[in-house]
Amino acid sequence: MSRRRRNRSGGVREILVSLLDFLSDNKKKVMPIVLILCVAVTIFIAIRANRAAEKQVTSDPGSTDGTTGISVAAEEAPLEQDVYPEINALIGRYFEAYVSGDVSILNDGIYRTLDEIETVTFEERAKYVDAMDNLTVYTKKGPVEDSWVVYAYTDVRYIGCDDYLPAMLSLYVCRDDKGEYYINADESSQSVKDYIKAVSLQADVVDLYNKVNVEYKEKLENDAMLKELVAAIYAEIDESVGERLAGAEEAIAQAALEAEQEKSDQEAQEVTGESTQTPAPPQEVKIRAITTVNVRSSDSTEASVLGKAREGEEYVRIAEQGNGWSKISFAGSAAYVKTEFFEVVTDGANDTQADAGTAAEGNEGQDTGTQNGGSLGSRTVSDGVRIRKSPSTEADIVTTLYNGAKVEVVANRPDGWSEVIYNGNTGYIKTEFLEND
């Protein structure tokens, strides 16, 4: 047995020696072949490793933000048009509520869930919508089973307008355990939001949005009266929504104040054994505007504009706050203005008005057409600019614009944002990204 092993070992050694001699004598011919084989092996290993990594990403629960079964990558599938009758019926009911302003339709299980701001906006917007026709529903598969990203196209006619304008809404639709389809407005998973955002940036969706936007812009550009009327309607909607929300905030604040006062009175009575009297309200103070400023629903430049206080107009000041704002009585309800743009009206006071030009230099409230270097009307945006639901980089993204898309600028804000209309919807863009046509 040992002799046979030694014979085999000797034979292998002789083969290796012969092979080395051959390689040494033929280096120029053999080395390129060896190099090619090494490169091939390296490529093969890299491909196997890459496939393994992809498999791990799509199956690893850690990449789904804690939501099992959600892949980070959005599926590249073409848009489907009017494929699901149940989804078409759902969107039809949604638009029925959109026109009628009947929130009970939404609360009947088709929209989950509706908050106070959405309710007020829905009801006020319906006052200006006359009809919605020509519904077309485009869908792409959603991030989880029985879910869809929906792009609903429709033609909208506003009250007082003879012509229709194209509009498109993006919605997230799901089906519950009972098989009922509903619009999911309550989704909080970041992975789902990322998926929907990725789908909306796919080429066929971007093309669809651009097509609708071009049609919308052409109609407004060819009808100056329609363009002016639509801008006025959106301004009225914003104002009416702001007034209602301000009234709701005031009622809630007043109720909370009264409850706190009642609690304090009860505690004082328990300690002293005596009843307490409600202190007399503070004496009203009249203030006069020294320039034209915005009147807002709360003490913030981000709050809705309820109207304007004109130079020389007088108002009752309810309270002067420590943050530079004053609470005033405006159109029968509470509102807020910047304290620095008002003077206290007292007996014998000099009625000479302050220099409006000087005061206006720091005026936070003058939303003029050219403030911050922006002009109103049709403007081209920079490539890749996002339209957001509110003037904040933290707000939800409505859509992203590409290839020199145009928007209708209806207002330039003092905080560096511009309010725009795109595809019939109002949104906000950083003014610096609006190009001069």
Run of H or E residues at 406: strand 406-412
The pLDDT value recorded for residue 110 is 87
- CA distance to 121, 124, 160, 221, 281, per residue, from 157 (Å): 18, 16, 9, 17, 50
The pLDDT value recorded for residue 334 is 86
CATH number at residue 340: 2.30.30.40
Residues 138 and 149: their CA atoms lie apart, in Å, by 8
User: Are residue 188 and residue 290 in the same domain, yes or no?
Assistant: no
Domain boundary pick from 316, 332, 360? 360
DSSP state, 432? G
User: Are residue 318 and residue 184 in the same domain, yes or no?
Assistant: no
User: Are residue 393 and residue 427 in the same domain, yes or no?
Assistant: yes
Domain boundary pick from 337, 360, 383? 360
**pLDDT greater than 60 at residue 340:** yes
Residue 8 domain-assigned? Answer: no
For the chain, counts of helices (H) and of strands (E): 9, 20
The pLDDT value recorded for residue 322 is 76
The pLDDT value recorded for residue 221 is 87
The pLDDT value recorded for residue 395 is 82
Tens of pLDDT, residues 75-122: 788 999 999 999 999 999 999 888 888 888 888 888 887 777 778 777
Query: Which residue type, as a one-letter code, is found at position 276?
Result: T
Query: What domain count does the chain have?
Result: 3
User: Are residue 129 and residue 219 in the same domain, yes or no?
Assistant: yes
User: Are residue 98 and residue 115 in the same domain, yes or no?
Assistant: yes
Residue 408 domain-assigned? Answer: yes
User: Are residue 217 and residue 237 in the same domain, yes or no?
Assistant: no
Residue 245 domain-assigned? Answer: yes
Highest-pLDDT range among 30-39, 51-60, 72-81, 129-138: 129-138
Residue 365 domain-assigned? Answer: no
User: Are residue 254 and residue 191 in the same domain, yes or no?
Assistant: no
Q: What percent of the chain is predicted at pLDDT more than 90? A: 11
Residue 274 domain-assigned? Answer: no
Local confidence band at 249 (pLDDT 50, 70, 90 cut-offs) = low
CATH number at residue 173: 3.10.450.540
The pLDDT value recorded for residue 366 is 40
What does pLDDT average to over the chain? 74
Residue 425 domain-assigned? Answer: yes
Q: Which residues are CB-neighbours of 178 under 8 A, at least 6 positions away?
A: none
Of 356, 341, 354, 243, nearest in space to 294 by CA: 341
Of 101, 88, 281, 113, nearest in space to 187 by CA: 113
The pLDDT value recorded for residue 255 is 62
Tens of pLDDT, residues 139-194: 999 888 999 999 999 998 888 888 888 988 889 999 999 999 999 987 778 888 88
**pLDDT greater than 70 at residue 2:** no
Tens of pLDDT, residues 3-18: 444 444 556 566 655 6
The pLDDT value recorded for residue 217 is 86
Average pLDDT over residues 328-357: 68
User: Are residue 183 and residue 310 in the same domain, yes or no?
Assistant: no
The pLDDT value recorded for residue 113 is 78
Torsional sign, CA 416, 395, 103, 160: positive
Task: Return the higher-pLDDT residue of 285 and 357.
Answer: 285
Average pLDDT over residues 393-408: 80
The pLDDT value recorded for residue 86 is 94
What pTM did the predictor assign? 0.45
User: Are residue 318 and residue 384 in the same domain, yes or no?
Assistant: no
DSSP state, 158? E
Average pLDDT over residues 64-68: 43
Torsional sign, CA 73, 78, 79, 82: negative
Average pLDDT over residues 30-35: 60
User: Are residue 123 and residue 86 in the same domain, yes or no?
Assistant: yes
Residue 11 domain-assigned? Answer: no
- Residue 218: strand pairing partners: none
Domain boundary pick from 360, 387, 413? 360
DSSP state, 430? E
User: Are residue 194 and residue 301 in the same domain, yes or no?
Assistant: no
Tokens representing 107 are 């609360």
Of 125, 140, 138, nearest in space to 95 by CA: 125
Task: Return the higher-pLDDT residue of 136 and 377.
Answer: 136
Tens of pLDDT, residues 208-219: 988 888 888 888
Local confidence band at 137 (pLDDT 50, 70, 90 cut-offs) = very high
The pLDDT value recorded for residue 85 is 94
The pLDDT value recorded for residue 101 is 84
Structural domain for 390, as ranges: 371-435
Residue 331 domain-assigned? Answer: yes
User: Are residue 156 and residue 248 in the same domain, yes or no?
Assistant: no
Task: Return the higher-pLDDT residue of 303 and 173.
Answer: 173
**pLDDT greater than 80 at residue 361:** no
Tens of pLDDT, residues 257-291: 666 666 666 666 655 555 445 555 555 688 999 88
